[in-house]
Structure 1
Amino acid sequence: MSDGRPGSRARRLGVVVNPTAGKGRAANAGVGVLAGLRRAGHDVVDLSGPDADAALARARAAVDGTSGMSGPDGTVDALVVVGGDGMVHLGAQAVAGTGVPLGIVPVGTGNDFAATLGLPVRDPAAAGLALCRALDVGAAGRRAVDAAFVTGPGVPPGGRWVAGAVSAGLDAAVNARANQLRYPRGSARYTVAAALELVRYRPWSYRLTFDGVVDASPTGKAPAPATATAGRRTGRAPRPGDGLHLRPGPAGTATWTGRAALVTAANGPQIGGGIRVAPHASLDDGLLDVLVATDLSRPGALAVFPSMFTGGHVRRRKVHVVRARGVTIEPGPDAWVAGERPLPVAHADGERLGPLPLRVEVRARAVEVLVAPR
C-alpha cells in the first residue's frame, strides 16, 4: 500500500474490522488492509473483538494509551476502521475529541460518511493506498469534521457521538425494519423496509426545541428575498421560523410542536446507502440540518420517499430544514393518546440509539479523518 516515497515515517496504528460488513467483504478486506499497512512499514495491531462492545473497548484503550501498544505520547497515531457506517460510528466513539485521526476503509453496505468525504468506496485496495498517502503527508492528510453529540435517558451513559445523522421518524422506523430483514441484502433492504413501514404509517406527535437557529428555509440554505419557505410568496424576505412557525423561547431557543413523518438531525447529507436526506448539509459548518416533514398523509409519504434519493424532497411544501447548533427531540402532547402508535426508536449512523427524548448538538471539528490530498 505504500506509495514508495522515501522518508515516510512509520506510524503506530490500531485497526478494527467488522467481518460481517458488506456481505462479508470486510473480512477479506481486513486481512488485506492489515497486511498492506504492515508492508508499508507501519506498526499495526488488530483491535477487532468478538462483538462491537469488545472492539470499542479495545479501540478506546488503544486511543487513550491503556492498551499497552500506545506510543511515547500515550496514544496510537491513528485508528483505522474497516466496514461501513456502523464502523465509522464505532470509531467516532473512540477518537472524537482526542486529536487521534480516524482512517476509514469503506466496504460496508451504506458507506455514506465515506462517500461524503470522497473516499474510495467498496475498493479496499484503493482505500488502503489513499490511507497510506494520508499518513505519509502528516497534517496535510487530516481533515477536521464536525460530529453530533447525543444525550438522553435512553442513551448509553456518557452520551453518543454520531458521524452522519440521527433519525427519529419514519427513517428510524425504516432503519429498524431493515436491520431485522435477512433478505434482500445490500441497499435494497432499505427500499423493502420502507415499503413495509409505509403500509402502516401515520405521522407521530413531536416537540422540537432548537437553539442557535441560523435558517429555517426548506432547503436549509439562505432563501432569496421575497421567497417564503414552503414555496409561498409573501413579498418580504422570510425569517427563521417561517416554515415551521417556531415559537421563541428563553435563552435564544425556539420550539415547534406538531405531527411529522420525518425528523432527522443531520451532520452529513446522506443516509441509508445514498438517501440524500439533507442534501445541503456540510460536515464542517458547525451546524445541524434538521429535516422535518410535517403531517404527511400516507400518499404524501409515498410520494416523498422516492425523491429522497435525489434530495428533491426538500422542495416539497411540507418538508422543512432548520439549520441550528442543537435540537431536543421529544414526544409531543398527543404521543400518549389512546390508539397512538409508539414513536420510533431513534437510530444513528444506521445503529440503534435509544428512545426519545434526545438532545442532539453539533461539536465543531470534533473528529479528524485521514483523507489523502488530491
Structure 2
Amino acid sequence: MPPQIAVLVNPAARGGRSRELLPPVLDRLRRGGREVSVILGESAADALERARAAVAERPAVLVAFGGDGLVHLAVQAVAGTGVPLGVIPAGTGNDFAAALGIPLKDPLAAADTVLRGRVRTVDAATVGAAEWFAGVVACGFDSRVNERANRLTWPPGMAKYLVALAAELRTFRPIPFRIDLDGELVEREAMLVAIGNTCSYGAGMRVCPDALPDDGLLDVVVLGAVPKVEFLRTFPRVYRGSHIGHPAVTVRRARRVTVQAPDVIAYADGERVGPTPLTCEVVPGSLSVVV
C-alpha cells in the first residue's frame, strides 16, 4: 500500500469559500501516487478525535487544509508523535504557514510541497494543562478583542474583528500583569503580552518579529501601559514588526513563561484557551512539518 496522506478539512474556512479549492487539491495529491483519505468532523472535538485516530495509524503525513485554527487542531494530534504535519493554507489567517515558507496563495503549490517537500523539525509549546500551540499566545487587548468578536454574529469575516476592536478601545484600561520568565518575576501594567513560538498572528501581524520556531525558546513581547492615542499610533506598526523599537515595548526570551492577569482570556493560534494564570513551555523539536 502506498504511504497514506490524511487530509484534515475545515469546510468553513474563509466562510466556506475554500470548499471549491478542495477537489483539485485532493486530485493533485492523488496524482502523486499516494493514497489520500479525508477527515471531516462534525465538531472540533470530533475532528480532533478522528485526526488522532488517523495519526495512530502512522500515515506519511497529516495535512491541515484550512487556516491557523485548523493547524492548531492538527498540532494537538501530531505534536510529539513524529508524524509530519503538512499545511495547505485555506483560511483567513495563515500565519503558521507563512512562518515556515509554505505557499500561501496557491493551494496546488502547497499540495506539491506536501508531495515533494522536506520534513523540518521545529518546536511546539504547551499552554495550560494539556494543549499545544505552534504560533502565538495572546493575552490582553488583542485577546479581549477576540472575545468580543466571537460574541458577534454580524458582520461576517474579518469585519467583525474591526467592530470588536473599536468597541474594546472605548473601555480598555492597562492590565496589571505578573509574568514569570524561567523563574524571574516581572510585574507591570501592560496593554498586551504575546508569547511567540513563531512571529505573527491575526493574518500578518508580526507581534514577535524575531521569534524562531526552532531555537528552543519563546519570545515574550510586552507592550507596556501607554495612552490610547499613543497605542493607536503604535499598534499598526505590528504589521511591519517595527513596534519593538517603541520605548514601551520589551522583548524577552524564555523556555517557560507563566502569565497572570485579572479578567484576561488567553488565545493560542487564534483559538480560545481560557483564563490566566497559565503557563507556556516550549518543547524543542516536538513538531515535524513538511516545508
- Shorter-chain TM-score: what band? over 0.9
Higher strand share: 2
Rg larger in 1 or in 2? 1
Give the equivalent residue in structure 2 for 1:368.
288
Alignment of 1:135-284 (within 5 A): 141-152=118-129, 159-211=130-182, 253-284=183-214
* Distance (whole Å) between structure 2 residues aligned to residue 302 and residue 181 of structure 1: 23
C-alpha displacement of 1:298:
1.9
Say if 2:20 is the partner of 1:43: no
Counterpart of 2:244 (choices 307, 314, 317) is 314
Structure 2 residue 8 is the aligned partner of structure 1 residue 25:
no
The answer as to 2:278 corresponding to 1:348 is no
Greater alpha carbon shift after TM alignment, 81-90 vs 290-299: 290-299
Task: Give the match for residue 52 of structure 2.
Answer: 60
TM-score by structure 2 length?
0.95
- 1:299 is paired with a residue of what secondary structure? helix
Name the structure with the higher helix share: 2
* Equivalent pair of 1:198/1:302 in contact (CA under 8 Å): no
The one-letter amino acid paired with 1:348 is A
Deviates more, 1:117-126 or 1:310-319: 117-126
**Unmatched segments (≥5 aa) in structure 2:** none
Q: Is the 8 A contact 2:127 2:280 kept in 1?
A: yes
> 2:224 aligned to 284, 289, 294, which one?
294
Q: Which residue of 1 aligns with 2:86?
A: 103
Matched, 1:118 2:95: no
For 1:288 and 1:191, how far apart are their aligned partners in 2? 28
CA contact (8 A) 2:206 2:239 kept: yes
1-side partners of 2:201 and 2:156: how far apart? Answer: 16
Distance, in Å, in 1 between the alignment partners of 2:150 and 2:92 is 12
After superposition, give the CA deviation of every residue in 1:308-342 in whole Å (9 maximum; x if it has no partner).
111121111111111111110113xxx4xxxxxxx
For residues 275 and 183 of structure 1, the distance between their equivalents in structure 2, rounded to whole angstroms, comes to 23
Q: What is the aligned partner in structure 2 of residue 5 from structure 1?
A: none
Q: CA RMSD in A?
A: 1.7
Instruction: State the alpha-carbon separation in 2 of the partners of residues 120 and 16 from structure 1.
Output: 18
Identity of aligned residues (%): 47
User: Is the Cα contact below 8 Å between 1:198 and 1:301 reproduced in 2?
Assistant: no
Unaligned regions of 5+ residues in structure 1, if any? Answer: 1-8, 65-69, 135-140, 153-158, 212-252, 336-342
The correspondence for 1:79, drawn from 59, 62, 72, is 62
2:29·2:112 contact (CA, 8 Å) conserved in 1?
no
Contact 2:9 2:64 (C-alpha < 8 Å) held by counterparts: yes
- Which 4+ stretches in 1 moved above 6 angstroms? none
Q: Which amino acid aligns with 2:63?
A: V
Measured after TM superposition, the shift of residue 53 of structure 1 is: 0.8
The C-alpha deviation readout for 1:192-225, integer Å capped at 9, x for no partner, is 43222112110111111111xxxxxxxxxxxxxx
Contact kept? 1:22, 1:186, Cα under 8 Å: yes
Q: Distance in 1 between matches of 2:193 and 2:76?
A: 23
Give, in whole Å, the separation in 1 of the partners of 2:14 and 2:40: 16
Moved more, 296-305 or 167-176: 296-305
Q: Give TM-score, length-normalised by structure 1.
A: 0.74
Name the aligned partner's letter for residue 367 of structure 1: L
C-alpha separation in 2, matches of 1:26 and 1:181: 22
In 2, are the aligned partners of 1:202 and 1:297 still within 8 Å (CA)?
no
Give per-residue Cα distances to partners, 1:258-304, cap 9 Å, x unaligned: 21111111111110001110111111111111111112222222222
Deviation at 1:150, TM superposition (A): 1.0
Give the match for residue 221 of structure 1: none
Post-superposition CA distance 1:15-65 (Å, at most 9, x none): 11000112213322223322322232211111111111111101101112x
